[in-house]
């Protein structure tokens, strides 16, 4: 018996398409099959709904499509956090500007 608690994704998660598709099924009330070129291999989308049979509705740039969770992988937030740690913080910007203004003041006092 299928239990929705076993799904590894939840609504709002960012997912990446693992492999190219033969076709895409829209998540409309009357689903249609669409060509696979609407979603690029590796494109990132957001889960908008959980469906039966390990299927999720994923919103991509060019539409919302029904995909099996085996065709998707979660996007790690760890990579985003790592890139944000390398960026200078606001306090670093203030300390650099304070150092520059102190340099200007000391140059003015020499004149």
Check residue 78 and give its pLDDT. 37
55 within a domain of the structure (yes/no)? yes
89 within a domain of the structure (yes/no)? no
Count: domains in the chain: 1
Residue 13 CB partners (closer than 8 Å, separation 6+): 46, 47, 74, 75
Check residue 57 and give its pLDDT. 95
**Parallel/antiparallel/unpaired status of strands 72-74 and 63-68:** unpaired
Most confident range, picked from 48-62, 65-79, 91-105 = 48-62
Q: Reply yes or no on whether the pLDDT at 42 is more than 60.
A: yes
Check residue 5 and give its pLDDT. 47
47 within a domain of the structure (yes/no)? yes
Q: pLDDT digit string (tens) for 63-91?
A: 999 999 999 999 875 355 445 555 554 44
Domain that holds residue 67: 4-74
Q: Reply yes or no on whether the pLDDT at 33 is more than 50.
A: yes
For residue 58, the domain's CATH number is: 2.30.30
User: Which helix (H) or strand (E) covers residue 63, if one does?
Assistant: strand 63-68
The residue among 43, 55, 41 whose CA lies nearest residue 9 is 55
CA–CA separation, 35 and 21 (whole Å) = 9
87 within a domain of the structure (yes/no)? no
86 within a domain of the structure (yes/no)? no
């Amino acid at each position: 018996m299928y239990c929705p608690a076993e799904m590894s994704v939840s609504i709002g998660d960012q997912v990446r398409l693992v492999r190219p598709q033969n076709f895409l099924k829209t998540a409309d009330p009357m689903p249609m099959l669409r060509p696979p070129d609407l979603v690029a291999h590796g494109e990132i989308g957001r889960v908008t709904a959980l469906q039966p049979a390990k299927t999720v509705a994923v919103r991509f740039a060019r539409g919302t499509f029904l995909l099996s969770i085996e065709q998707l992988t979660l996007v790690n937030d760890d990579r985003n956090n790592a890139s944000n740690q390398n960026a200078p913080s606001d306090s670093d910007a203030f300390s650099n500007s304070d150092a520059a203004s102190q340099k200007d003041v000391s140059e003015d006092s020499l004149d």
